Structure 1
Amino acid sequence: MSAETKVLPASTRTNLEVLKHHMKKLGFKYYKEKDGWVTFGARLMMNGEEVAPDDCISISVRFIDFHADLWAFDLISKLPEVKQAILDFYEAEGIKE
Protein backbone atom coordinates (compact mmCIF):
# COMPACT_ATOMS: atom_id res chain seq x y z
CA MET A 1 0.00 0.00 0.00
CA SER A 2 1.22 3.45 -0.83
CA ALA A 3 0.87 6.37 1.50
CA GLU A 4 -1.08 9.16 -0.14
CA THR A 5 0.04 12.61 0.90
CA LYS A 6 -2.53 15.38 0.88
CA VAL A 7 -0.96 18.41 -0.74
CA LEU A 8 -2.78 21.69 -1.08
CA PRO A 9 -2.75 23.17 -4.59
CA ALA A 10 -0.23 25.98 -5.14
CA SER A 11 -2.99 28.59 -5.40
CA THR A 12 -4.48 27.47 -2.08
CA ARG A 13 -1.06 27.57 -0.42
CA THR A 14 -0.60 31.13 -1.72
CA ASN A 15 -4.06 32.19 -0.51
CA LEU A 16 -3.36 30.53 2.84
CA GLU A 17 -0.13 32.51 3.20
CA VAL A 18 -2.11 35.73 2.67
CA LEU A 19 -4.63 34.59 5.30
CA LYS A 20 -1.79 33.74 7.71
CA HIS A 21 -0.41 37.27 7.25
CA HIS A 22 -3.82 38.85 8.00
CA MET A 23 -4.36 36.63 11.04
CA LYS A 24 -0.89 37.41 12.37
CA LYS A 25 -1.65 41.14 12.18
CA LEU A 26 -4.80 40.44 14.23
CA GLY A 27 -2.87 38.61 16.94
CA PHE A 28 -3.31 34.98 15.87
CA LYS A 29 -0.55 32.53 15.03
CA TYR A 30 -0.87 29.69 12.56
CA TYR A 31 -1.25 26.43 14.46
CA LYS A 32 -1.79 23.61 11.96
CA GLU A 33 -3.81 22.17 9.08
CA LYS A 34 -5.63 18.91 9.71
CA ASP A 35 -8.48 17.18 7.93
CA GLY A 36 -9.16 20.20 5.71
CA TRP A 37 -9.22 22.67 8.61
CA VAL A 38 -6.66 25.38 9.30
CA THR A 39 -6.41 26.54 12.91
CA PHE A 40 -4.99 29.78 14.28
CA GLY A 41 -4.49 30.42 18.00
CA ALA A 42 -3.70 33.47 20.06
CA ARG A 43 -1.90 31.34 22.67
CA LEU A 44 -0.84 27.74 23.04
CA MET A 45 -1.69 25.55 26.04
CA MET A 46 -1.10 21.99 27.15
CA ASN A 47 -4.11 19.83 26.30
CA GLY A 48 -3.60 16.40 27.83
CA GLU A 49 -0.56 15.01 26.06
CA GLU A 50 -0.17 17.66 23.37
CA VAL A 51 0.06 21.38 22.79
CA ALA A 52 -3.17 22.91 21.50
CA PRO A 53 -4.27 26.43 20.57
CA ASP A 54 -6.15 28.55 23.08
CA ASP A 55 -8.44 31.36 21.92
CA CYS A 56 -8.54 29.83 18.48
CA ILE A 57 -10.25 30.17 15.13
CA SER A 58 -10.51 27.24 12.72
CA ILE A 59 -11.52 27.57 9.08
CA SER A 60 -12.25 24.98 6.44
CA VAL A 61 -10.16 25.12 3.28
CA ARG A 62 -12.83 23.12 1.39
CA PHE A 63 -16.10 24.93 2.12
CA ILE A 64 -17.36 28.01 3.93
CA ASP A 65 -17.35 27.17 7.62
CA PHE A 66 -15.39 28.49 10.55
CA HIS A 67 -15.36 27.99 14.28
CA ALA A 68 -14.25 30.55 16.86
CA ASP A 69 -13.44 29.70 20.46
CA LEU A 70 -12.47 33.02 22.04
CA TRP A 71 -12.45 34.04 25.68
CA ALA A 72 -10.41 37.24 25.54
CA PHE A 73 -12.54 40.33 24.92
CA ASP A 74 -9.77 42.04 22.94
CA LEU A 75 -9.87 39.11 20.49
CA ILE A 76 -13.66 39.04 20.35
CA SER A 77 -13.63 42.68 19.25
CA LYS A 78 -11.46 41.64 16.28
CA LEU A 79 -14.03 39.15 14.94
CA PRO A 80 -15.31 41.50 12.18
CA GLU A 81 -11.74 41.83 10.82
CA VAL A 82 -11.18 38.08 11.17
CA LYS A 83 -14.44 37.41 9.33
CA GLN A 84 -13.37 39.68 6.46
CA ALA A 85 -9.94 38.00 6.20
CA ILE A 86 -11.64 34.59 6.04
CA LEU A 87 -14.18 35.76 3.46
CA ASP A 88 -11.31 37.17 1.36
CA PHE A 89 -9.64 33.75 1.53
CA TYR A 90 -12.82 31.99 0.39
CA GLU A 91 -13.33 34.49 -2.42
CA ALA A 92 -9.76 33.93 -3.63
CA GLU A 93 -10.41 30.18 -3.52
CA GLY A 94 -13.62 30.58 -5.53
CA ILE A 95 -15.73 29.13 -2.69
CA LYS A 96 -19.16 30.71 -2.58
CA GLU A 97 -21.25 28.29 -0.49
Structure 2
Amino acid sequence: MSAEVKVLSASTRTNLEALKHHMKKLGFKYYEEKDGWVTFGTHLMMNGEGVAPDDCISISVRFMDVHADLWDFDLISKLPEVKQAILDFYEAEGIEE
Protein backbone atom coordinates (compact mmCIF):
# COMPACT_ATOMS: atom_id res chain seq x y z
CA MET A 1 0.00 0.00 0.00
CA SER A 2 1.40 3.38 -0.93
CA ALA A 3 0.21 6.90 -0.33
CA GLU A 4 0.33 9.26 -3.27
CA VAL A 5 1.82 12.62 -2.35
CA LYS A 6 1.26 15.49 -4.74
CA VAL A 7 4.18 17.88 -4.77
CA LEU A 8 3.85 21.35 -6.23
CA SER A 9 6.20 22.20 -9.07
CA ALA A 10 9.09 24.59 -8.49
CA SER A 11 7.37 27.32 -10.52
CA THR A 12 4.15 26.93 -8.51
CA ARG A 13 6.16 27.12 -5.27
CA THR A 14 7.77 30.35 -6.52
CA ASN A 15 4.40 31.82 -7.48
CA LEU A 16 2.95 30.75 -4.13
CA GLU A 17 5.78 32.46 -2.27
CA ALA A 18 5.00 35.69 -4.17
CA LEU A 19 1.32 35.33 -3.21
CA LYS A 20 2.25 34.68 0.44
CA HIS A 21 4.37 37.83 0.47
CA HIS A 22 1.56 39.96 -1.02
CA MET A 23 -1.07 38.51 1.33
CA LYS A 24 1.20 39.18 4.30
CA LYS A 25 1.37 42.86 3.29
CA LEU A 26 -2.46 42.87 3.30
CA GLY A 27 -2.61 41.48 6.84
CA PHE A 28 -3.08 37.76 6.18
CA LYS A 29 -0.81 35.02 7.44
CA TYR A 30 -0.20 31.78 5.57
CA TYR A 31 -2.09 29.01 7.32
CA GLU A 32 -1.87 25.75 5.40
CA GLU A 33 -1.84 23.93 2.10
CA LYS A 34 -4.21 20.97 1.97
CA ASP A 35 -5.90 19.02 -0.82
CA GLY A 36 -4.89 21.58 -3.48
CA TRP A 37 -6.08 24.56 -1.42
CA VAL A 38 -3.96 27.26 0.20
CA THR A 39 -5.49 29.12 3.14
CA PHE A 40 -4.57 32.50 4.57
CA GLY A 41 -6.04 33.85 7.81
CA THR A 42 -5.65 36.80 10.14
CA HIS A 43 -5.26 34.66 13.26
CA LEU A 44 -5.93 31.14 14.46
CA MET A 45 -8.85 30.04 16.61
CA MET A 46 -9.82 26.80 18.30
CA ASN A 47 -12.74 24.89 16.82
CA GLY A 48 -14.23 21.50 17.62
CA GLU A 49 -11.62 19.78 15.45
CA GLY A 50 -8.51 21.67 16.54
CA VAL A 51 -7.01 24.91 15.25
CA ALA A 52 -8.47 26.76 12.27
CA PRO A 53 -7.89 30.17 10.69
CA ASP A 54 -10.29 33.02 11.46
CA ASP A 55 -11.16 35.66 8.84
CA CYS A 56 -9.73 33.51 6.09
CA ILE A 57 -9.37 33.28 2.34
CA SER A 58 -8.72 29.93 0.65
CA ILE A 59 -7.65 29.60 -2.96
CA SER A 60 -7.34 26.53 -5.15
CA VAL A 61 -3.82 26.00 -6.45
CA ARG A 62 -5.05 23.99 -9.44
CA PHE A 63 -8.30 25.72 -10.41
CA MET A 64 -9.68 29.25 -10.29
CA ASP A 65 -11.74 28.82 -7.11
CA VAL A 66 -11.74 31.13 -4.10
CA HIS A 67 -13.50 30.90 -0.74
CA ALA A 68 -13.59 33.92 1.58
CA ASP A 69 -14.91 34.03 5.13
CA LEU A 70 -14.34 37.57 6.38
CA TRP A 71 -16.06 39.41 9.22
CA ASP A 72 -13.63 42.28 9.79
CA PHE A 73 -14.64 45.39 7.82
CA ASP A 74 -11.01 46.47 7.37
CA LEU A 75 -10.29 43.14 5.69
CA ILE A 76 -13.41 43.37 3.53
CA SER A 77 -12.19 46.75 2.26
CA LYS A 78 -8.96 45.03 1.15
CA LEU A 79 -10.80 42.53 -1.08
CA PRO A 80 -9.96 44.37 -4.34
CA GLU A 81 -6.23 44.08 -3.51
CA VAL A 82 -6.66 40.45 -2.45
CA LYS A 83 -8.52 39.72 -5.68
CA GLN A 84 -5.70 41.22 -7.74
CA ALA A 85 -3.04 39.23 -5.85
CA ILE A 86 -4.97 36.02 -6.47
CA LEU A 87 -5.52 36.87 -10.15
CA ASP A 88 -1.78 37.56 -10.50
CA PHE A 89 -1.08 34.12 -9.01
CA TYR A 90 -3.48 32.42 -11.43
CA GLU A 91 -2.04 34.34 -14.39
CA ALA A 92 1.48 33.25 -13.43
CA GLU A 93 0.21 29.67 -13.20
CA GLY A 94 -1.45 29.91 -16.62
CA ILE A 95 -4.93 29.34 -15.16
CA GLU A 96 -7.51 31.40 -17.01
CA GLU A 97 -10.87 29.86 -16.11
How many residues get paired?
Answer: 97
Residue number in structure 2 paired with 1:46: 46
* Segments ≥4 residues shifted beyond 2 Å: none
Amino acid at match of 1:95: I
Residue number in structure 2 paired with 1:88: 88
Residue number in structure 2 paired with 1:79: 79
- Residue identity over aligned pairs, in percent, reads 89
Amino acid at match of 2:91: E
Unmatched 5+ stretches in structure 2: none
Supply the distance in 1 between the matched residues of 2:53 and 2:43 (Cα, whole angstroms).
6
Residue number in structure 2 paired with 1:29: 29
TM-score for both structures, normalised by structure 1: 0.97
Amino acid at match of 1:17: E
2:46 alignment partner, SS class: strand
2:71 alignment partner, SS class: coil
TM-score for both structures, normalised by structure 2: 0.97
Shift of 1:2: 1.9
Supply the distance in 2 between the matched residues of 1:34 and 1:27 (Cα, whole angstroms).
21
Residue number in structure 2 paired with 1:8: 8
Shift of 1:15: 0.3
Residue deviations 1:39-97, cap 9 Å, x none?
A: 00011100113110000000000111101100000000000000000000000000000
